Amino acid sequence: GENVEQHPSTLSVQEGDSAVIKCTYSDSASNYFPWYKQELGKRPQLIIDIRSNVGEKKDQRIAVTLNKTAKHFSLHITETQPEDSAVYFCAASFFGNEKLTFGTGTRLTIIP
């Protein structure tokens, strides 16, 4: 089955700087890659996703890049703000297969 590895497990960034979280996956058939943000005590919420026919997708300060050859994808947050502090999870699945495999999460802390 699919295996998703996520790094780093913790990340501290000065407010205003950029943050990058990286994930690798094992199943070359995977073609759907969402990212979830989970604030303390809250539910995970979808913030951005990318499909394998696209190499990059951007939504305001958040962007995701995908390298299918290397089987890795990354989340980029620019101009970080205190409200970006949360745990971020990457995930992967084969489109048409509903089952998502999640990474182990990255705890991002924005230092004011």
Partner 1 sequence: DAGVIQSPRHEVTEMGQEVTLRCKPISGHNSLFWYRQTMMRGLELLIYFNNNVPIDDSGMPEDRFSAKMPNASFSTLKIQPSEPRDSAVYFCASMEMPSGYTFGSGTRLTVV
What does the block give as tokens for 70? Answer: 């290397």
Q: Give the C-alpha distances (Å, rounded to integers) separating 2 from 11, 30, 32, 93.
A: 25, 8, 12, 8
Residue type, 15: E
Q: Does 25 bind partner 1 (CB under 8 A)?
A: no
Q: Does 62 bind partner 1 (CB under 8 A)?
A: no
Shortest reach from residue 80's CB to partner 1, in Å: 23
Q: Does 53 bind partner 1 (CB under 8 A)?
A: no
User: Which residues are within 8 A (CB) of 57 and not within 5 positions of it... i.e. 6 or more apart?
Assistant: 48, 49, 50, 63, 64
Of 42 and 61, which has the nearer Cβ to partner 1? Answer: 42
Which one of the spans 11-19, 54-62, 70-78, 92-100 is the region binding partner 1 (CB under 8 A)? 92-100
Q: Does 45 bind partner 1 (CB under 8 A)?
A: yes
Shortest reach from residue 95's CB to partner 1, in Å: 7
Q: Collapsing DSSP states into helix, strand and coil, what is residue 71?
A: coil
Of 91 and 110, which has the nearer Cβ to partner 1? Answer: 91
What does the block give as tokens for 49? Answer: 């996703």
Q: Does 26 bind partner 1 (CB under 8 A)?
A: no
